[in-house]
Structure 1
């Protein structure tokens, strides 16, 4: 159980909040590079409670600026994206991607006003199809380097990355993925079809959990019995400040996967999902399945057909899903009776409906946690300790600004019962570009 006060401390992310200020010390992945065209229409985004517009200028640079023009408060969403800047349509003030005023057509030629006025902006960097921003107050020389997440550094053919909006706070979403007890139940079928029913985790629905606090966050290991001599271990990773990593399965579509749960505001989350192989291209069928869905159902990724574009005026409108609370997540009672345990149309929808379906900020004081929630309880404790140290002393997590801290993998191992997973998995949990899994994926 999480007290109301503690839950509020962790899920509130706006300016001045403890977690919001802590998040501002990290680079945040906020948009897909392919979704921004040169001189294209600006798009509204909202990050940590701040409404901004994002655009790509004539030279290909990405700008992230306040939606409010500092002149008379007109919306920059309607700005003209032209000639290496965004021009307010009200009086023509034009801003570059760094927030500098480069033109004031209604002002005297000799006016020095543009030297004193800027629009609020945040720096953006692109890497491998993802736009990152830094919202802290530090100057360029004092910012941490971009984090070396393996999924954002492998070749294009090795990875798929998709975005969607989820209608709950970041922590509710994150906790759904570090909880591996739900997977063979929620994602299962009541008929004999599907790979989940053949999954080793389906054979033992009462896993034992062991958690280890790491310098990057938390390792949450679940142990299931395979036979009299072996255990099956799945180790999910929580990586500060809001990342989750999921181990590979043992079928032909093996890949590492996970999410960045980027807070839009207190009640909505930008979910960036990644699936990748560290040292080889994805299975030829994986990319089309991830992007198109499979037989009308969603996978762990949001399909291109599942979006219901709300337009550029809505924060992350292009990433809004038709599978959401007001549409009932397209729950199908008939399919629940005959085929799918949940009756919900695909993996991520099943997760989102359970994480978000009751409330955007659920009252965690009403929970009754059990042994399978060990990882959630320990992660909450770690986050509260981190938030407390930051609020009271300004302390940030150790090594938070070390880019290689984030070179982490989730693992799935089959081990003799007397072999500790932490020892056997230590080397495999360290990511290294071009390195294979290093162990056999056993069903």
Structure 2
């Protein structure tokens, strides 16, 4: 378990908090490019507890600015996006993507007020269909975008979905780096609707090994495959908030999430699934986009999303599966078919990650051996926080974009082989290269 103070350090992301300061050193993905049209409707955004508005101007540039007009605090989500700027509907003040005021129609012609007024604005970059922003201290000399493989492969090789989850970012991260839950939470029952025979057929007691890396943490789960073979699944945690999940035959794709903190109690879940060297199959894309037989896959399907008013951050990415309706838990299905009774893969994860509260009190938890990766990842993050706060030491990935060229792996190895040594070349991503081993 964690102390109360350490738990606070790991969940608070606002400006001036240790974690918020660390996260602001990195470029942050926050919206699909397709969501913003030239001179189109602005979008309400909240990132790391800051309330913002995103828009694309007449020349195609993306702006991310404060939600409130600096004149009298009118909401810029209602602003007119026209002629290379966002114009407040209250008194017509107009702002460009840099935050500069370009027009004050109600002011005298000779007024120089607009030269002295500026709205908060963060720089944005686009790559392969995703918009990124930098909210950090080095606005004059921006760091490079991170070389994450999912954002570098051709579009036909990747599927990306976005949804809001009503819990703190760390609860979501810890759910994905935890391999012990997968065969249980995501499992089906046997023909009689019981777990006994089903459990006996599986090795549900993995042994965990963890290795600290430049990018974060490798969390390896070892299971018995047969008498002469061990099966290793190595999940990856990458600072600041990325998780990578290994491929699982017969589904040959890599997947993971950017768990972007909206604020302390809500997370933007950007999920990516991609094949490193081949296009995704049409069937795979259809399941991701539509679900399967009324159930959700690892991606939020289009049927799962509900539309909120434009004043709500990420208005189009909230889902019908949430704590308020019990994630549509189905007791009858739990008795007959599905171990969890929850309607699909990400819903099962989301229900458990959201837990009993948006921020779980980790002083009350009871960790066990299968939580080794979670405990070591927490320690890794706390060490990074301390190094930056006390000594201004920045994680390597802030300035070196290739730190992020990492893959999760699933390996079948003889007992005498080390997953660290054998897996090292397969855990380094190389654009265009296949997995390099048999799935």
Is this a same-fold pair by TM over 0.5? yes
Work out the CA distance in 1 between the residues paired with 2:397 and 2:12: 24
The worse-fitting range, judged by mean Cα deviation, of 261-270 and 397-406 is: 397-406
**SS of aligned partner of 1:184:** helix
Report whether the alignment pairs 1:96 with 2:60. Answer: no
What CA RMSD, in Å, does the superposition of the two structures yield over aligned residues? 1.5
Q: Write the mapping of 1:123-134 to structure 2, written as runs, cut at 5 A.
A: 123-134=123-134
**Which whole-Å CA distance do the structure 1 matches of 2:320 and 2:163 have between them?**
10
User: Size of the alignment, in residue pairs?
Assistant: 434
Cα contact 2:146–2:397 (8 A) shared by 1: no
Residues 71-86 of structure 1 mapped to structure 2, 5 A cutoff: 71-86=71-86
Distance in structure 2 (CA, Å) of the matches to 1:357 and 1:416: 38
1:104-151 deviation per Cα after TM superposition (whole angstroms, max 9, x unaligned): 1112222222121111010111111111000012134x2210000000
CA distance in 2, matches of 1:258, 1:202: 27
Superposed CA offset, 1:314-359 (max 9, x none): 0111100110000110100000000000000000000010010311
Q: Tell me the equivalent position of 1:335.
A: 333
Match of 2:304 in 1: 306
Instruction: Note if contact 1:248-1:412 (Cα within 8 Å) is conserved in structure 2.
Output: yes
Does residue 354 of the first structure (1) align with residue 352 of the second (2)? yes
Partner residue in 2 for 1:249: 248
Aligned partner of 1:226 in structure 2 is: 225
Give the drift of 1:228. 1.6
SS state of the match for residue 83, structure 1?
coil
Cα distance between partner residues in 2 of 1:215 and 1:393: 18
Q: Tell me, in whole angstroms, the C-alpha distance in 2 between the residues paired with 1:210 and 1:394.
A: 30
Matches within 5 A, 1:116-155: 116-140=116-140, 142-155=141-154
Contact 1:256 1:277 (8 Å CA) reproduced: yes
Whole-angstrom distance in 2 between the partners of 1:166 and 1:399 = 26
The Cα of 1:399 is off from its aligned counterpart by 4.3
Question: For residues 26 and 189 of structure 1, what CA distance do their matches in structure 2 show?
Answer: 40
Match of 1:48 in 2: 48
Long gaps (5+) in structure 1: 194-198
Partner of 1:205: 204
Corresponding residue number in structure 1 for 2:173: 174
1:146 and 1:408 map into 2 onto residues whose CA distance is 15
Q: Say which of 378, 382, 396 aligns to 2:380.
A: 382
Which runs of 4 or more aligned residues in structure 1 lie more than 4 Å from their structure 2 counterparts after TM superposition?
A: 199-202
TM-score by length of 2: 0.97
Residue 189 of structure 1 aligns to a residue whose secondary structure is coil
| 2:195 match | none
Listed as ranges, the gaps of 5+ residues in structure 2 are 193-197
Structure 2 counterpart of 1:196 = none
Is 2:322–2:351's contact at 8 Å kept on the other side of the alignment?
yes
Q: Determine if the alignment matches structure 1 residue 276 to structure 2 residue 274.
A: yes
**If the length of structure 1 is used for normalisation, what is the TM-score?**
0.96
Partner of 2:318: 320
What secondary structure sits across from 2:403 in the alignment? helix
d(CA) in 1 for partners of 2:137, 2:92: 28
Mapped to 2, the partners of 1:137 and 1:389 lie a distance apart of: 17
Partner of 1:264: 262
Distance 1:260 1:237, change over 3 A: same
Equivalent pair of 1:184/1:202 in contact (CA under 8 Å): no
Alignment deviations for residues 69-102 of structure 1 (CA, whole Å, 9 cap, x no partner): 1111111111011111100011101001111111
